[in-house]
Homo-oligomer: A and B are copies of this chain.
Amino acid sequence: MADIQTAKGVRDIPPVEKALKNKVVNVLTSVFELYGFRPLETPILERYETLSAKFAAGEVSDALKETFRLTDQGERALGLRFDLTVPLARYVAMNPTLKMPFKRYELGQVFRDGPVRLGRYREFWQCDVDTIGSTSMLADAEVLAVVSRVFSKLGLDVVVKVSNRRVLNGILVEAGVTDCERAIIAIDKLDKIGVSGVSKELSERGFSAKQIEGIFKFVKEGVSLKELQKGVKNAEAVEGLKELEELFLYLNSMGVTNVLFDVSLARGLAYYTGTVYEAVLRNGVFRGSLAGGGRWDNMIGNFMGSKLQVPAVGVAFGLEPIMDVLKMEQKVLGESVVQVYVLPIGVVQEGLMIVEQLRAKGIPAEVCLGKKGVSKNLDYASALGVPYVVMVGEDELKQKKVKLRDMKTGTEQLLTVNEVVKKLK
């Protein structure tokens, strides 16, 4: 086989990186469960009909265009899931007796046959937390508390920008804008290109000077809920502001202090219906979103083709950007899973007994499996980043001790196995 490679747009996660990923996943899932979210696993293979149903009413989305399609031996049309939301909607629709609220989380691979560029893969992980079946702002507050606690446990100083789609929609309507989606695409860039940039783009998109003035009357950096409540008249916006007020009341009770109102936050996706939010580093080199979500009350009902609304609110964490930031901020170094490498010198069986003693105490330990010399073995342990090496030969055995080498400093100590356990624990 001349040409050994991965498929285009996918990659292997080597051990050091996968160990870090596992750590992040453990933090995430432990917080999710702390807040009463339960794990769900949906399959990667879905009927193509299911994947395409979401969009039956609206335009064909990018995600659907990028769906990997395949058939099974019965010529059934299948696809690889492109997100975890459609499978969730299908699961809820298939299980009408599900107790509500249904609070679930899911982590797993999703697939998009799109253009490949740096940091964008055709197979990547999503990590979703959602509460289905509650219209209460308590559910929104809880999801935001999860976001806040996840990042605090990861040691990242994050601010969560929050708004409500109805506030921006109402302001736009009040400003005489009819095609809100088109305006929002420009407003979404306020962070990056400022008022003048957005004004220019709105003007290019055909909005009048009066409309643009109407928009920037309220859409400005640092505008508070209170100011808007005094100024904005539109009924939809007033409703949205009321929800935000209730949300902040609950967040306050929960001790969540890093959520800030940001009127310009729009989030691209058309399906959000109320609260929207996005977590970003407070002072970071990385400006992108680490987590984002909101309320999406219409999608499950639409999916089921029913007039019934099935309310939902949730958040998706970006595993890849979170890992990139942790690596940049060196919050989590690529640590070795293995704490000690045991190297028996001529006393294999005694070496095995010692390594088993260490493992029995819960210390991840590796033992020499080859016949190479001491220096080659030290090279191996060093290359894998194992912090300690235990060496044991006839001399040490006579003294009922082992030699413990600190791989960072190179110092060696003669210790009993119990002393080694104490040092490594």
Q: Which residues of A contact B (CB under 8 A)?
A: 1-15, 18-19, 21-22, 29, 33-36, 38-47, 49-50, 53, 56, 68-70, 72-74, 76, 78, 87, 90-91, 93-95, 99, 101, 103-104, 109, 111, 113, 122-123, 131, 134, 136, 138-139, 141-142, 145, 149, 249-250, 253-255, 303-305, 337-338, 341, 348-350, 352-353, 356, 359, 362-371, 380, 383-384
Contacts and interface: CB of A to CB of B under 8 A. Distances in A.
Contacts of A29: 22
A333 to B, nearest CB: 15
Given A5-B94, A72-B9, A370 B134 contact: yes
B6 A250 contact: no
11 contacts: A9-B72, A12-B91, A12-B94, A13-B40, A18-B40, A22-B39, A33-B337, A35-B366, A36-B365, A45-B111, A145-B356
A13 B95 CA distance: 12
Contacts of A138: 348, 352, 367-369
Counting from the closest, the 8 A-B pairs by CB-CB distance are A36-B366, A15-B38, A10-B43, A13-B41, A70-B70, A253-B352, A253-B349, A134-B369
A157 to B, nearest CB: 19
Given A1-B304, A19-B39, A70-B70, 17 more contacts: A1-B56, A5-B50, A6-B94, A7-B43, A34-B362, A35-B364, A36-B338, A43-B123, A44-B44, A45-B123, A69-B70, A99-B383, A109-B109, A149-B359, A253-B356, A254-B352, A254-B356
Contacts of A42: 12-13
A65 to B, nearest CB: 10
A37 B207 CA distance: 61
Nearest to A114: B73
B8 A356 contact: no
Contacts of A53: 1
* SS of A interface (majority): mixed
Given A15-B38, A34-B365, A35-B359, A7 B47 contact: yes
Contacts of A36: 337-338, 341, 364-367
> Which of A7, A39, A142, A369 has the most CB atoms of chain B within a 10 A radius of its CB?
A369
A104 B366 contact: no
A104 B366 CA distance: 12
A11 B118 CA distance: 34
Given A134-B369, A369-B139, A7 B72 contact: yes
Nearest to A380: B99
A391 to B, nearest CB: 16
A14 B38 CA distance: 9
A339 B43 CA distance: 28
A305 to B, nearest CB: 5
A93 B10 CA distance: 17
B41 A356 contact: no
A45 B7 contact: yes
A104 B14 CA distance: 10
B7 A78 contact: yes
A303 B353 contact: no
